[in-house]
Amino acid sequence: MGCNSKCAYCIVPSVRGREQSRRPGEVVAEVTTLAQEGVREFTLLGQNVNSYGRDLLPEVRTDFGELLRAVDAVDGVARIRFTSPHPKDFRAPVIAAMAECAAVCEHTHLPLQSGSSRILKAMRRTYSRERFVRLASELRAAIPDLALSTDLIVGFPGETEEDFQETLDAVQEVGFDSAFTFVFSPRRGTDSAVMSDQVPEDVKRERIERLIDVVQRVAAQRNERRIGGIEEVLVEGPSRTDPDLLRGRTRRNTTVNFAGAASAGELVDVTIEGSTSTTLRGSKISSVAA
């Protein structure tokens, strides 16, 4: 909980305070208990999850890569996810753990916020566009089938059309599998709320529509590449759009609607037969051995 960063648009440090890490033994013990009760998938959660462990020094020396490995070693754990990492703290030990731990899923949420290095500096994100793109390349080189999702803000104070175009370009350059898109909204108590160069609402709305179009086009292209392949799906229940189908998620965190019989919590193999920008469609092959 908490965050030590000082992003200009974020109220979290003011309302939640500084980062606080649970001791690794506590986390592993909780995971062990839940796994014994039949839980298959675990999400390690933190405002800046990959800075885990720094506040435990000098009494406990650990890092997030070590925590991933410890949870991966627990019997019965089929999948591990984590959110949200900060690009500035995504270091080699975490990338290595993702690549080497069988249960860690081939997906990470990596918030970009803006493709303009100038705007990123104004946001106080402490990385540039170039550094972000380099990190994304390093992650995909280590984990070839990795899916990347992100957060994007349009209309941050001072954002020009050129800055916004850099965001569109970055979405296409990185090739995000999905993105949460936001129109900047001033939040009282943050530095960005009192900046003088606020972007007009009509400009922000026009830009968010253009951004969503690009995000959906890129995501649709990436999902289309999954057609014809086989995905391991963790069953969640009936499809929300078709009661004759089931719904689940792949290791890459993509929703799949598929035909076949299975129970919630079961891992099944699904042949992918179709796709949209947000979902896959297919048919169950068989259960995956536990």
Q: Which amino acid, one-letter code, is at 272?
A: I
Same domain, 26 and 121: no
Euclidean distance between CA atoms 240 and 252, whole angstroms: 20
What is the per-residue pLDDT for 286? Answer: 61
Euclidean distance between CA atoms 256 and 236, whole angstroms: 10
What is the per-residue pLDDT for 203? Answer: 98
Same domain, 121 and 213: yes
Residue 29: count other Cβ atoms within 10 Å of its Cβ.
12
Tally the C-alpha atoms within 13 A of residue 97's C-alpha that lie toward its C-beta. 22
- What average pLDDT does this structure show over 63-73? 97
Alpha-helix runs per DSSP H in the chain: 12-16, 24-36, 64-72, 92-100, 117-123, 129-142, 161-174, 201-224
Residue 277 has pLDDT above 70, yes or no: yes
Determine what percent of the chain is predicted with pLDDT higher than 70: 98
Quote the domain boundaries for residue 270.
Answer: 230-287
Residue 290 has pLDDT above 60, yes or no: no
Same domain, 124 and 185: yes
DSSP string across 141-167: HHSTT-EEEEEEEE--TT--HHHHHHH
What is the per-residue pLDDT for 15? Answer: 82
Residue 229 has pLDDT above 70, yes or no: yes
Residue 216: count other Cβ atoms within 10 Å of its Cβ.
16
Same domain, 123 and 209: yes
What is the per-residue pLDDT for 29? Answer: 98
Euclidean distance between CA atoms 266 and 248, whole angstroms: 9
Domain boundary among 105, 132, 157: 105
Per-residue pLDDT of 47-58, as tens digits, reads: 899 999 999 989
Residue 8 has pLDDT above 70, yes or no: yes
The encoded tokens of residue 232 equal: 């391991």
Residue 30 has pLDDT above 70, yes or no: yes
Domain boundary among 75, 105, 135: 105
Euclidean distance between CA atoms 78 and 289, whole angstroms: 11
How many domains does the chain divide into? 3
Same domain, 242 and 189: no
Per-residue pLDDT of 95-108, as tens digits, reads: 999 999 999 999 99
Those residues whose C-beta lies under 8 Å from the C-beta of residue 75, and which sit 6 or more positions away, are 32, 35
Same domain, 171 and 241: no
Task: Assign 188 to helix, strand or coil.
Answer: coil
The encoded tokens of residue 264 equal: 């919630």
Same domain, 86 and 110: no
**CATH number, residue 246:** 2.40.50.140
- The DSSP secondary-structure symbol of 74 reads S
Euclidean distance between CA atoms 20 and 31, whole angstroms: 19
Per-residue pLDDT of 231-258, as tens digits, reads: 999 999 999 989 899 999 999 999 999 9
Same domain, 60 and 133: no
Domain boundary among 80, 105, 130: 105
Mean pLDDT of the chain: 95
Euclidean distance between CA atoms 76 and 41, whole angstroms: 9
What is the per-residue pLDDT for 244? Answer: 93
| Range in 12-21, 40-49, 164-173 with the lowest mean pLDDT | 12-21
What is the per-residue pLDDT for 16? Answer: 83
Same domain, 95 and 123: no
Residue 161 has pLDDT above 60, yes or no: yes
Same domain, 113 and 177: yes
**CATH number, residue 163:** 3.30.750.200
Residue 111 has pLDDT above 70, yes or no: yes
**CATH number, residue 69:** 3.30.750.210
